[in-house]
C-alpha cells in the first residue's frame, strides 16, 4: 500500500467515525462499514439515501442506520456471492467447450482416416504389408480416439459435479436472500412473492385466505430508551412467537422496521382473529430482560390488523385493508386486534380489482 492509499483509507475511516459520533451511533463493525462505504462514495444509492436523511433531520437514528445496513450491506454480500459463482460457472463452461472442440477435431481427424482407409481398400491392389500398415494406423487412430473420449467423459463428469455444487450454492444464496438477516424469518421480498402465489391459488380454487399485520407498540420509544441491541432482541422475540403460533402453510414475515405480517391460506376471518389474539397474548406474556445486566425491561405489546381476501382483491388491496385495521387498533389504544368485521364501513369501501 502506498502512502497515498494509506492517507485515502485513513481519510475515509475518519469520516466514517465522525458520522457515527455525530449521529450518536455506537461504532459497531456493521455501522462502521456502512458509513465507511458512504465516505468512499462507492455506492451511489446508499449515498443518496443517507444524504436525504441528513438533509431532512440533520442526523441519522440507530433504527435508520440498521435499516440501511440490512438493505445495502446484505445486498452487497449477496451480489459478491453471485458474482463469484458466475465466474466459476463461466470457467466451467469454457473448459467444457474447449474439451468438446478438441474432441471434435479428433473426431474429424479419425473420420478422415477412416475415409482414406476405405478408399484404399476399395481401390484394390493392396498387398499384405500395406494392409498391415493400414490396420496398424487405424488401430492407433482408434486408440487415440478412445483416449480422447475417455478424457472428454471425465471432463464432463467433473463439470457435472461442479455444476451440481454451484446449483446447491445458488439455492442457498436464494434462500438467504429471502430471509430477514436479523429475525431469520422470511423478508418482504419473500412475502410479496408468496402472497402473490397464494392469492392466485386462492382465486383459482375459490378458496379463502386471511392476512395479519402486526406492529410493535411504541417500539421507537423502547429502542431509544434501552438501545438498539435490546430492540433487536425484541424483534427476534416477536419473530419467534410468530413462528411458534403459525402452522402448516401459514407464513410469517418481517414487513419492515417493527412491522410483521402473516399469510394464513385457507383461513377465514374468525379463525385468523383467533390466531392473532393468541400471538398478541403470547407476546404480552413474555417479560423482557436485558441480557447484559438481567434488568427487567417490562413487557411489549402488539397491535394487529386482520383482513380476509375477497374475490377481485389484489395483494395491494388486501394489505391496505389489513393496514387500516392495524391503524384502527393503534387508534383505539394499542395492544388489541381489529378485524374487518369491527369496521363495518369496509363493506361499502371499494377495493382495487385486478
User: Which residues form the catalytic set?
Assistant: 258
8 A C-beta contact, residue 232 and residue 182: yes
8 A C-beta contact, residue 245 and residue 279: yes
8 A C-beta contact, residue 232 and residue 288: no
8 A C-beta contact, residue 321 and residue 299: no
Query: DSSP states of 105-128 as a string?
Result: HHHHHHHHHHHHHHHHHHH----H
Q: What is the DSSP letter of 186?
A: B
Say how many C-beta atoms besides its own lie within 10 A of residue 3's C-beta: 7
Tell me the C-alpha to C-alpha distance, in Å, between residue 41 and each of 14, 46, 56. Answer: 14, 8, 20
SS3 268: coil
**Minimal CA–CA distance to 188: which of 74, 268, 276?**
74
**Minimal CA–CA distance to 318: which of 348, 334, 340?**
340
- What sign has the CA pseudo-torsion 160, 164, 166, 170? positive
Rounded Cα distance between 130 and 53, Å, is 89
Which residues on neighbouring strands pair with residue 339, listed in sequence order?
306
Q: What is the DSSP letter of 344?
A: G
Query: Could you identify the residue written with the cell 467515525?
Result: 17
Quickly list H helices, the chain. Answer: 3-23, 29-40, 44-57, 62-68, 74-123, 128-177, 188-204, 219-226, 228-245, 269-284, 315-331
Please return the burial class of 272, using the count of CB atoms within 10 Å of its CB with bins 0-12, 13-18 and 19+: buried
Amino acid at each position: 500500500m502506498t502512502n497515498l492509499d494509506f492517507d485515502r483509507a485513513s481519510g475515509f475511516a475518519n469520516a466514517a467515525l465522525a458520522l457515527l459520533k455525530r449521529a450518536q451511533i455506537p461504532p459497531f463493525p456493521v455501522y462502521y462499514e456502512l458509513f465507511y462505504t458512504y465516505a468512499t462514495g462507492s455506492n451511489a444509492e446508499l449515498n443518496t439515501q443517507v444524504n436525504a436523511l441528513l438533509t431532512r433531520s440533520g442526523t441519522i437514528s440507530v433504527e435508520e442506520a440498521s435499516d440501511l445496513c440490512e438493505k445495502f450491506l446484505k445486498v452487497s454480500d449477496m451480489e459478491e456471492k453471485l458474482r463469484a459463482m458466475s465466474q466459476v460457472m463461466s470457467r466451467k463452461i469454457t473448459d467444457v467447450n474447449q474439451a468438446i472442440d478438441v474432441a471434435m477435431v479428433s473426431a474429424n481427424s479419425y473420420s478422415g482416416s477412416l475415409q482414406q482407409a476405405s478408399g484404399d481398400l476399395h481401390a484394390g491392389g493392396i498387398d499384405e504389408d500395406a494392409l498391415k500398415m493400414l490396420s496398424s494406423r487405424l488401430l492407433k487412430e482408434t486408440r487415440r480416439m478412445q483416449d480422447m473420449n475417455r478424457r472428454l467423459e471425465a471432463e464432463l463428469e467433473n463439470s457435472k459435479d461442479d455444476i451440481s455444487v454451484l446449483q446447491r450454492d445458488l439455492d442457498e444464496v436464494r434462500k438467504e436472500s429471502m430471509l430477514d438477516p436479523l429475525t431469520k424469518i422470511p423478508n418482504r421480498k419473500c412475502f410479496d412473492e408468496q402472497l402473490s402465489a397464494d392469492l392466485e391459488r386462492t382465486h383459482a380454487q375459490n378458496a379463502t385466505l386471511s392476512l395479519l399485520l402486526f406492529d410493535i407498540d411504541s417500539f421507537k420509544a423502547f429502542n431509544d430508551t434501552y438501545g438498539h441491541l435490546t430492540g433487536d432482541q425484541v424483534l427476534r422475540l416477536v419473530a419467534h412467537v410468530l413462528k411458534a403460533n403459525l402452522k402448516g402453510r401459514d407464513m410469517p414475515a418481517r414487513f419492515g422496521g417493527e412491522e410483521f405480517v402473516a399469510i394464513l391460506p385457507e383461513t377465514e376471518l374468525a379463525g385468523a382473529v383467533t390466531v392473532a389474539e393468541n400471538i398478541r397474548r403470547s407476546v404480552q406474556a413474555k417479560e423482557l430482560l436485558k441480557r447484559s445486566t438481567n434488568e427487567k425491561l417490562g413487557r411489549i405489546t402488539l397491535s394487529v390488523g386482520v383482513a380476509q381476501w375477497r374475490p377481485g382483491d389484489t395483494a395491494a388491496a388486501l394489505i391496505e385493508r389489513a393496514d387500516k385495521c392495524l391503524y384502527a387498533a393503534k387508534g383505539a389504544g394499542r395492544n388489541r386486534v381489529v378485524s374487518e368485521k369491527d369496521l363495518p364501513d369496509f363493506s361499502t369501501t371499494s377495493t382495487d380489482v385486478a
